Structure formats: structure tokens, C-alpha cells
Amino acid sequence: MDETLDKGTKMAKAPMGWLEQEAPKWIERGWMDESSLKALLEHYGSQGGAKRSVIILSLFGFLLLGLGLILILAHNWEMMGRSERLLLSAGLLLLGQGAGIYAWKKGGENRALREGAAILWVLLVGASLALIGQTYHLGGEFRDLLWAWMLLGLLIPFLLKADGAALFLLAGITALLLEGHQEGWMEGVSWLALALFGGYYAWRYSMGREGHALALLGWGLALSLSILWAHHHYSHHAVSAIEMVWLHLLFSWILWAVGRELHQGLRLYHRPFEFIGKLGLWVVLLGALPLGGWEALSQEVIPRFLGMENPWILLMGVAYLVFVSFIWWRRKGVEGGWIFEVMPLLWALALGIFLSFGALRAMLFFNLAVVVGAVFMILYASKKEHTSGINEGMAILLVGILIQFLDSHLGLVGKGLAFILVGGAFLLFNLRFRFKNSKESK
């Protein structure tokens, strides 16, 4: 009872899926009847869906309204004098401020009003800056104007708690960073803009409310960081294959570890950092299991010190060691998912074996470590009755076995028999686990 009540205090952060998952247990224990549960789920489920629809309609309505005003003004711009243009620019700015102030004072819990007013305000700020710059023929490039717009616009979500406007600005920041290199003071401005959005996400996360909106913010930030990281290191820098794997591995691990510590919800949709980071770790895992991946490294020019002259690898490697030490210290031990926690260490050891003894021994060591880790995950999850951990461990074993069989020189019959034996073993383990659970539930 106490454990369930402790979980209930976190419902402000948890999605509806938590209620759907926990409520049947309450019925079994007599804490709630089925009619009350049905009414509760219908009330909060329909309420959440209706609220989201209103917010989306409000957001797009104000967005189209602002774009329509800008297009009309652009069409009639040449017919206006300088004084008229100045008054119009000031009027647009005041209109945006008026909408924002009204939403700030009257919006309260009316998120649809706040989101709509914020996106309109952001658009009008950008239009005002562009009109003033064109009227007085201010120097600088168009990119400078856009960065000024992004920085000023990012203050608006803080004032109105408007996630839609923040995501709109994040898309603009990401596009500008992908468009070209920032030089001089503009490089600092670009980092400041991205840091401001990160600060906004941290601020919204600290509130512990509106799980779907927070998940969207998380997906936006995680995707933006991943795209920018890949673009920066894989497109503009000549790095070796080993350095590329190091960078990819450490970045993915940090994303995954941060996502694990955020505790954003039970559903995968609410854990963007963990999902994207684990996806990156799986890429390294799949690439390091077959012998062909290690043999491909033999064709590369091996950098000195295993590529550690790259400052990004050194910095992220230190961050990895500090982070994993903190996690283990706080947990006072290792959990079932340790195979992902030690992935950079496994890669480092396998790489050392590869450089000293060749590709075959490196592949064998890495595969053996992965098998041991997957078995440990399954046993640990079985003891703790964590179905997801069992499934993940089984998936790692299954994928590893499939890769090795496909990479081997066995004939079709041999591979077929091997698949049948392995599949049968998995099914037997699954039946045993289900039988154990059904017996304990009775």
C-alpha cells in the first residue's frame, strides 16, 4: 500500500499509461471497483485528448494569423513611406506584446491561449526586426537578423510557458546551425541560443507537469543535438573510423545515461534521450559483433593513442567515467542493464586486443562479453520480475546469434537447424517464465 501511494505522488510527472498499468492491481486488492476505474480513465483520458486538440488548433490558428499579417504587409511594403514603416513596425511589436501580456495575465491554466499568443508574439517580433532593418538599411547579413530573432524570441516561452513556440524556435536554431559555420561572435550567439532552449527544457522538467508536452520538448532537443553532432563531426571533419566510432559511442552513451536519470515516464514515447541513445549504442553493438566490422578497421590508418588526440574524445571520455561512477555510487551497485553502461569500456578493451592480436580475437572477446552481459541481464530481470529487462537481454542474445550465423560459412541447412535450436530454446525459456509468473500470481 505504501509503495503504491509513493508512486501515486509522482502522477503529476507520469503519463496516463501509469494509471492504466497500476489501477488493475488496486482492483485486485480491493482498493477500487471497476466502475470507479472506468470513470477515472474516461475522465482524464478524454480530458487530456480534448485539451491537446484545443491547444493544437489554437497554436496553428495564431501561427496562420501571424503569417497572414506578415504576407499582407510584405505585399504593400513598397507603397509605404519611412515614417509609415516605422509606425507599422512599432505597431506590430506592440501588438505582439499586448497579446503576450493578455495571455500572461488572463491565461493562467489556459494553455491554448498561452501557446497561441506566444507563437503570434514570436512571429511579430521577427517581422518587426526585419521591417526596421530594411527601413534603415542596417548592415550585417540576413543570418545575423535571424539569430537576433531567435535570441529575443526565446525569452517569450519563459514568460508564457509556451512549448510550441519554443519548439518553433528550436527548429530555426537547428536550421541555422546546419546552414553554415558560425564565425566570431556569432559562434557564441549560436551556443547561447541552444543553451537557452536547454535551460527552458530544464525549467519545464522541474515543474513536473504536462507529460506529453515535456516529451515533445525532449524529442526536439534530443533530435536537434543528435543531428547537429552528426553534422559537425561526420560532415566537416576528416576523422578516422576508430575516432568516428568513439565519438558516436560516447555521445550515444551520454544521451542514454541522461535519459535514464530523467525518469520521464513508463512509455518509450516519454523517454526520447534514452531511446535515441540506446539506438546509437545498438548501432555500435551490431557493428562490433561480426568479424567483418573488425576486419574493416584493419584497412584504416590507426591514429596514435587509439585516436585519443581528439579533444572531443578526451572530454567525453572523462564525462563518461564521471557519470558512470556517479550512477553506480548512487545505486550502490550494478543493475541488469550493465551491458550498455560498460559499452565504452568493452569497446576500449576490444580495441586494445584488436591492435595487439588482430581482428579475430577482438571479435571473440567482444562477443563473449556481450553474451555474459545479456545472460546477466536476463537472470537479474528474472529475479526482479522485470519483463522488459528479460526481453532486452533475449533480444541482445538473439541478434548476436543471428549475426554470427549469417556471418558464418555454414550452409543453408546448417543455419536453418541452428536457428530452430536457438528459437526453441528461447520459447522454452519464455514458457518457463510465464509458468512461474502464473504460479506466483495464484
Query: Dihedrals φ, ψ of 310, to 5°?
Result: -75, 120
What pLDDT, on a 0 to 100 scale, did the predictor assign at position 224? 92
Taking the CA of residue 324 as centre, how many other CA atoms within 13 Å lie in the half-sphere pointing to its CB? Answer: 20
What pLDDT, on a 0 to 100 scale, did the predictor assign at position 28? 63
Contact between 55 and 212 under an 8 Å Cβ cutoff? The reply is no
What pLDDT, on a 0 to 100 scale, did the predictor assign at position 4? 42
Alpha-carbon span 391 to 438, nearest angstrom: 18
What pLDDT, on a 0 to 100 scale, did the predictor assign at position 206? 83
What pLDDT, on a 0 to 100 scale, did the predictor assign at position 375? 84
Contact between 411 and 397 under an 8 Å Cβ cutoff? The reply is no
Q: How far from chain centre, in Å, is Cα 432?
A: 36
Overall pTM > 0.75:
no
C-alpha distances out from residue 373 to 26, 279, 352, 354, 425, Å: 35, 18, 20, 20, 18
Domain residue extents for the chain: 238-408
Alpha-carbon span 78 to 85, nearest angstrom: 10
Element containing residue 434 per DSSP (H, E): helix 412-441
What pLDDT, on a 0 to 100 scale, did the predictor assign at position 222? 92
DSSP H stretches of helix in 161-210: 163-179, 185-207
Question: Which grid coordinates belong to 364?
Answer: 571473440
Contact between 313 and 250 under an 8 Å Cβ cutoff? The reply is yes
Q: How far from chain centre, in Å, is Cα 147?
A: 24
Contact between 159 and 100 under an 8 Å Cβ cutoff? The reply is yes
Taking only the tens of pLDDT, the chain with its 442 residues reads 444 434 444 444 444 555 655 666 666 666 666 666 666 655 555 444 445 666 666 666 766 766 676 666 665 556 666 666 677 777 777 877 888 888 888 766 677 788 888 888 888 888 888 777 666 655 566 777 788 888 888 999 998 888 888 999 999 888 888 876 656 556 667 778 888 999 999 888 887 655 677 888 999 999 999 998 888 777 655 667 787 888 888 899 889 888 887 766 666 777 899 899 989 988 888 888 888 888 887 776 565 555 455 677 777 778 888 877 777 676 655 555 667 778 888 888 888 888 888 888 888 899 888 888 888 888 887 777 677 777 788 888 878 877 777 776 656 666 677 667 767 776 776 676 666 666 655 5
What pLDDT, on a 0 to 100 scale, did the predictor assign at position 414? 62
Element containing residue 85 per DSSP (H, E): helix 82-106
What pLDDT, on a 0 to 100 scale, did the predictor assign at position 6? 40
C-alpha distances out from residue 362 to 241, 289, 353, 390, Å: 16, 10, 5, 27
Query: Dihedrals φ, ψ of 194, to 5°?
Result: -65, -40
